[in-house]
Structure formats: C-alpha cells, structure tokens
Amino acid sequence: MPGWHDDLSLGIAIGSGIYIDENTHIEAVRYPSHSDTMGFLTTILTNGRPGPQRIALWLKNIAASFLRHPIKTFRVLQPLGWAREFVILLCMQAVEGQIQMRWQRPWFWPFRKFLVSRGKKVPTYIPKANEFAEKFAKLTGGFALSMLPEILFDVPGTAHCIGGCVIADSSAHGVVDTRHRLFGYKNIYVCDGSGVAANLGVNPSLTITALAERAISFIPPKLKTTWNDGPES
C-alpha cells in the first residue's frame, strides 16, 4: 500500500489470522522497518498454473499496470520502504504432502553430491489465496502482489520448514528417540522444528516450544547427571 499514512512495520510480527476454508489459513505478517529485501521478490499478482502461460500473463499484467498507473506501479515494485508500507499474507494449508531430502549426484555435475528434494511439489498457485489477496487489496486501497520466483521458476516461498528428524524407537526408523536424544550420540538433543511430525497448517511456534520444553524436562539437574545421556538403541 504505497503512500499509506501509517507505519505498518510497527507491532508484533503476526497479530491476526483467518481460516478461509477448512484447510487454508492466512495470517497477516509484518516485518520491522528497513527489512525491505522481500521487496525484491514481489511483483504484480498473477493467477494461473505455472508455466509459459503464467509468465506471459504476468508480463501482460505488468504492462497494463504501468499504462494505467505508472507512478503507483513503480512505487509498488521498488523495494525502498517496503516493510513500512506492505502487509505479508502468509498462506498455510493442512493438506497431505511431504518432501524428502537426499544426497545425489546430478547428471550435469557427477563430481560431488548435492542435497536435492523429492516428493509432491508444493503448489506455487493457490487460487483461494490469490482471491483473498485481491479482496484485501480492494478493501485497503492497496496493490495485490505475488512472489516473483513462483511465477518465473515455479519455486514456492516458505516460512516454516519443519520435519526431517523423525521421532522413532530406533535409528532404523528415525533420527531421535521419544526424549529427543539423537541416535548414535551422547548428550545431543534435537529441540527445534525438525522434530515436528507432520504439517500443522498453522504457525508452528507454540508446537516447537512445547516439544523443546518436553525435551528439556527429561534432562536431570546438573548435580544429578554424569552427562552420559543417550538413546538405548
């Protein structure tokens, strides 16, 4: 919302959220003043499935916006003061999906392994989310935006990377035991979001905090431990 008289960067990071359907949750997020880097990744809102047609539609939208509102469009697309003037709409969905990370040698560079992802691709176009952004912009007199990498490269933006360190009964089935102790090592505990077992569909901060508090509760006081703590298998 370029030219907005209030400083939208002031306040807590996430102050509100709404379910627009049974699986889709949207939160209004703010960044502190001068945190304008995200502005380089945003562009005019563009609908459509990923691919050449969406890129063509994006170019059409850019051209039309400059013809109709050249000054305002320039203000929207330049990043200076971005955090003060824009609200980020963070969309999360409680739907099935997973990504596996593996070390592999790509065909174009067989000399070393790279960490690559495998699994159902996270969508870069959620129609209901775009509809919500358009309504929000209309009500506030602002500009609805999309993420540029999503349009050009079909690469989604994410705010909450969770999972990866599976809780299990042995190293054959997971990474940590039920007390968050790392298999194969002593006195190493995994207490972050990687221990979350599944996609929550909402901000995971409280879940991560609860898991961390639970893990720490198993650690005895300093005077009562030999610091030789580890999983049984």
Could you give the residue numbers annotated as active site? 160
Please name the residue that has the structure tokens 């079909």: 154
Give the residue among 135, 142, 115, 132 at the shortest CA–CA distance from 44.
Answer: 142
Kindly tell me the sign of the dihedral angle through the C-alpha atoms of 194, 195, 198, 204: negative
Cβ atoms within 10 A of the Cβ of 136, count?
15
Spatial contact of 101 and 164, defined as CB atoms under 8 Å apart:
yes
The SS3 assignment for 224 reads helix
Separation between Cα atoms, residue 51 and residue 61, nearest integer Å = 16
